[in-house]
Amino acid sequence: MSTQVMLPLPVLPPEWKAEKDFLSKGSLSTPIQRNIEPVGPHFLAHARRLRHRRTFSEDERIQAQEKAQRTEQDSDADISEPEDPVMLSRDAKDWKGQDHYAVLGLSNFRWQANEAQIKRAHRKKVLRHHPDKKAAAGSSEDDSFFKCIQKATEVLLDPVKRRQFDSVDEEADVPLPSKKQLQKGNFYKLWNPVFDSEARFTKSPPAPHLGDEKSAKEDVTEFYDYWYNFDSWRSFEYQDEDVPDDNENRDQKRHVERKNNNARKKKKTEDTARLRNLVDQCIAGDERIKKFRQEEKADKNKKRLDRETAEKKAIEDKKKAAEEQERMKKESEETAKAERAEGKKAKEAAKNAVKKNKRVLKGSVKDANYLLPAGAKADTKQIDGVSLDIEIVMGKMEPEDIANLAGKLSGLKVAEEVAPLWQEEVKRLREVGKLKEGDAKTLVP
């Protein structure tokens, strides 16, 4: 038992003032306007009860009744197809030739029917065709179709047997679109159901879709690569010839087993070829493949033209480079030839100038009476000595020095003017080591 104690808030002291004693610890945020909508199953249930003025128990009861009614309608929808009289008269022994989905009324679902649907369909078929129910109604029909129902349920609820039956269920196949349909209809909408139907046999789901005219090249390539290398679990055991149970006839049993194995391999090979042919037909009419091939061809041609252009340009550049090199070589040879010619002319001119200057030097001595005073007569010894020394000195001089000295001696004919210039040159040559002391004594006494 709890006790409620009322405690009043303490009275503020008389000296407390809000203006000086109030301490703010935070502030209010700016107000924001938001729209709040009531949602959720609990709100809907509340609104439903208010609208229909129900209590909680009344609303739950009515909801349960409606749910049961919807479930019954869904169950009826699973087997809404009419029953074929020929199917009702089928011999139960020929169970391999019967359409198990049609027997249970699941033709519209077939391989997509789940276990719950198969069980519901079986229950409704049993309630309709059970031999006891027919006998009570005064019917004289046999129980052959009831056995067909039981066999269909046995096959479809066994995963292995159902897969074997689905492998040979031709009613689940989607026919290929005809040329007339393809001419009038959308290519991709007509082919997509075909591949969706074939995809039920894949070992590696999900199978890619065909797409449409806007699909990327990578997606289209992936699609056809997948189907050209399709890994199918489809088998053909359902169509095997029955193996005899007589253990004494073992050879016959082995013969039938070998025959069945060979038949399965052959059918598997034929099915693979059929699927390849199907893909070939689709790819032959796929405008995207044509567009991609045209783009590849255009790209290949562009690359080829670019390559040829580059090769042509390289050849032209090489040719131009060779021509330029040849031109430069020719110009260089011509320049060198011209330079050699000019050099030769310069050498000849320099040589001639040296000869001319030497004649001036020799003539200056001769004009100056071989460096003897005016009126004196030069004898052979004096002439030969001066001439020899002149030759020795000129041999030690550079062409520039010869030209310089010739310029100084030009026009001079008196020994007193010529001799000092020769003496100065001899002294210079001695100083630079080209002449020794005692050389050219006739010029420098």
In this structure, of 210-224, 258-272, 318-332, 346-360, the range with the lowest mean pLDDT score is: 346-360
Residues 372 and 422 in one domain: yes
Q: Which two tokens stand for residue 203?
A: 């070992």
Residue 142's Cβ-side half-sphere holds a number of Cα atoms within 13 Å equal to 7
DSSP structural state of residue 232 = B
67 occurs within a structural domain: no
Using CA atoms, how far apart are residues 275 and 283, in angstroms rounded to an integer? 12
Residues 143 and 93 in one domain: yes
Q: Give all strands (DSSP E) within 51-108, no chain letters.
A: none
123 occurs within a structural domain: yes
Among 120, 148, 169, residue at a domain's last position: 169
Q: For residues 290 and 138, which has the higher predicted lDDT (pLDDT)?
A: 290
160 occurs within a structural domain: yes
Q: Look over the chain and give the mean of its residue pLDDT values, rounded to a whole number.
A: 85
Burial class of residue 364 in the structure, from the number of CB atoms within 10 Å of its CB (0-12 exposed, 13-18 middle, 19+ buried): buried
Q: State the pTM of this model.
A: 0.54
Residues 189 and 215 in one domain: yes
- How much of the chain exceeds pLDDT 70, in percent? 92
66 contacts 54 by C-beta, under 8 angstroms: no
Residues 142 and 190 in one domain: no
Taking CA atoms, 431 is separated from 408, 425, 435, in Å, by 20, 10, 8
pLDDT tens-digit series, residues 80-108? 578 888 888 888 888 888 999 999 999 88
The whole domain housing 426 covers 359-431
Residues 97 and 126 in one domain: yes
209 occurs within a structural domain: yes
339 occurs within a structural domain: no
Among 169, 196, 231, residue at a domain's last position: 169
Taking CA atoms, 81 is separated from 103, 127, 235, in Å, by 10, 16, 29
Residue 66's Cβ-side half-sphere holds a number of Cα atoms within 13 Å equal to 6
What are the residues facing 232 on neighbouring strands? 202
19 occurs within a structural domain: no
443 occurs within a structural domain: no
253 contacts 243 by C-beta, under 8 angstroms: yes
pLDDT at 38 over 80: no
Residues 95 and 184 in one domain: no
- The per-residue pLDDT for 73 is 57
Residue 206, preceding peptide bond in cis (omega within 30° of 0): yes
pLDDT tens-digit series, residues 383-408? 888 888 888 888 888 888 888 888 88
Residues 215 and 237 in one domain: yes
Report, in angstroms and rounded to the nearest whole number, the Rg of the chain calculated over CA atoms.
63
Residues 281 and 365 in one domain: no
Q: What is the CATH number of the domain that holds 373?
A: 1.10.8.840
Mean pLDDT of 218-229: 93
Mean pLDDT of 52-70: 84
410 Cβ contact partners less than 8 Å away, ≥ 6 residues apart: 360, 364
Residues 125 and 203 in one domain: no
pLDDT tens-digit series, residues 137-166? 666 566 888 899 999 999 999 999 999 999
pLDDT tens-digit series, residues 164-198? 999 999 888 999 999 888 888 899 999 999 999 99
Q: pLDDT grade, residue 346 (50/70/90)?
A: confident
Q: What is the CATH number of the domain that holds 94?
A: 1.10.287.110
107 contacts 81 by C-beta, under 8 angstroms: yes
Among 169, 200, 220, residue at a domain's last position: 169
- Domain total of the chain: 3
Q: Which two tokens stand for residue 225?
A: 């690569």
Query: How many Å separate Cα 182 from the centre of its chain?
Result: 33
